[in-house]
């Protein structure tokens, strides 16, 4: 849910009426009655599209956007650098599209950083998925029946999701190794009690994200990672490059060298995959190795994922209220996140996606 009942009062304090689609919160544990008690109105889809500000979680269908009035502000995960059809419809409809994944990762925007809050949950859920599916216990156990060695977990990609995956795997008792192309992450890995894998590294881009590497560097990566992949019981891959295909970290040959029963969770499967055989939202079995490609792990923990996302949006909307919609293009936050303003594509990458060139 984009807004939970506990957040409704914060929006009412901004002198806004809050309308929630009937039944939308049921699966996350937020029935209509809780929204009504908090002061919101429960309405049908027609009431939602008539609103001045529409809050979403996943990218809405372009046909939904077509129903919005010009000037409406649409806020959510909108995939603004890849989803050409949706961005084109937002422009055609004359609305303002605020993509939360484009919020800058700065101290000022920290409370609004929905991408970090949701990937944090996803990293946790990925490890639980792998632990549930693996035929091996995660912690070491000393019993009358003998000693069971701990599982060996490998985390590839040490952003927000990767760090949470490391912490979760450690809490479950696994022996954890981790790798990221950015050398500065080694200290973070070791601070969580994991071991950093020695493999090729490269500097991050201006936004702190990993960058694409040349073919020869990728080959060196594969050679360095291969022995760690082969001996792992659980692997979580999280490496993604915004707006570009995910880097290939584990080849089919590397999967073939793993032991039957090992589990891989490829969190980048929907953007090309870190694991060569993975497919979005499917479980692929290769020689007894189970490869998951979930695209929405945060939804596996819908209550807390909704609470965190709701707090992000309330912080964002509070800033919108104080700054005013007329200042969107110059604001430090909305200047990046408002990829389309009153039907005009503003973000350079969104303009490029629509074939419009630089702003």
**Residues catalogued as catalytic:** 105, 110, 113, 116, 209
Alpha helix segments (H runs only) across the chain? 5-13, 32-38, 45-49, 62-66, 84-93, 114-133, 160-171, 185-191, 215-230, 252-256, 302-323, 334-337, 348-353
User: Tokens 């027609």 map to which residue?
Assistant: 46
CA 359/CA 91 separation, integer angstroms: 14
- Residue 126 tokens, joined: 């990925």
CA 36 from centre of chain: 30
**Cα torsion angle, 202, 333, 304, 244, sign:** negative
CA 104/CA 336 separation, integer angstroms: 7
User: Tokens 């209550």 map to which residue?
Assistant: 303
- Residue 359 tokens, joined: 């702003």
Counting Cβ atoms within 10 Å, is residue 176 exposed (0-12), middle (13-18) or buried (19+)? buried
Calculate the alpha carbon distances from 2 to 18, 58, 74, 154 in Å: 12, 9, 12, 33
Contact 313, 306 (CB under 8 A): no
CA 71/CA 74 separation, integer angstroms: 9
């Amino acid at each position: 849910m984009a807004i939970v009942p506990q957040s409704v009062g914060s929006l009412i304090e901004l002198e806004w009426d809050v309308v929630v689609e009937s039944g939308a919160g049921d699966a996350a544990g937020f029935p209509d009655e809780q929204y009504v008690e908090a002061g919101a109105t429960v309405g049908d889809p027609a009431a939602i599209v008539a609103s001045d500000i529409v809050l979403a979680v996943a990218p809405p269908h372009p046909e939904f956007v077509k129903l919005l009035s010009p000037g409406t502000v649409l806020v959510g995960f909108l995939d603004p650098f890849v989803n050409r059809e949706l961005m084109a419809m937002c422009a055609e409809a004359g609305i303002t599209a605020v993509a939360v994944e484009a919020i800058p990762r700065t101290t000022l925007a920290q409370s609004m950083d929905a991408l970090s809050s949701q990937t944090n949950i996803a990293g946790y859920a990925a490890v639980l998925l792998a632990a549930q599916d693996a035929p091996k216990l995660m912690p070491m156990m000393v019993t009358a029946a003998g000693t069971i060695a701990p599982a060996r977990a490998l985390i590839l990609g040490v952003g927000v999701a990767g760090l949470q995956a490391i912490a979760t795997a450690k809490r479950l008792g696994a022996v954890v190794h981790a790798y990221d192309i950015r050398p500065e992450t080694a200290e973070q890995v070791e601070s969580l009690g994991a071991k950093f894998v020695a493999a090729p590294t490269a500097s991050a881009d201006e936004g702190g994200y990993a960058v694409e590497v040349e073919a020869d560097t990728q080959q060196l990566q594969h050679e360095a990672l291969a022995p760690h992949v082969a001996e792992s019981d659980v692997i979580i891959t999280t490496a993604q490059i915004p707006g570009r295909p995910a880097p290939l970290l584990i080849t089919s040959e590397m999967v073939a060298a793993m032991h039957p029963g090992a589990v891989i969770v490829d969190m980048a499967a929907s953007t090309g995959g870190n694991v060569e055989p993975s497919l979005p939202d499917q479980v692929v079995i290769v020689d007894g190795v189970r490869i998951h490609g979930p695209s929405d792990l945060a939804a596996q923990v819908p209550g807390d994922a909704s609470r965190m996302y709701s707090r992000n949006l309330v912080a964002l909307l509070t800033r919108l209220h104080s700054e005013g919609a007329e200042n969107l293009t110059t604001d430090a936050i909305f200047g990046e996140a408002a990829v389309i303003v009153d039907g005009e594509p503003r973000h350079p990458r969104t303009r490029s996606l629509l074939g419009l060139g630089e702003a």
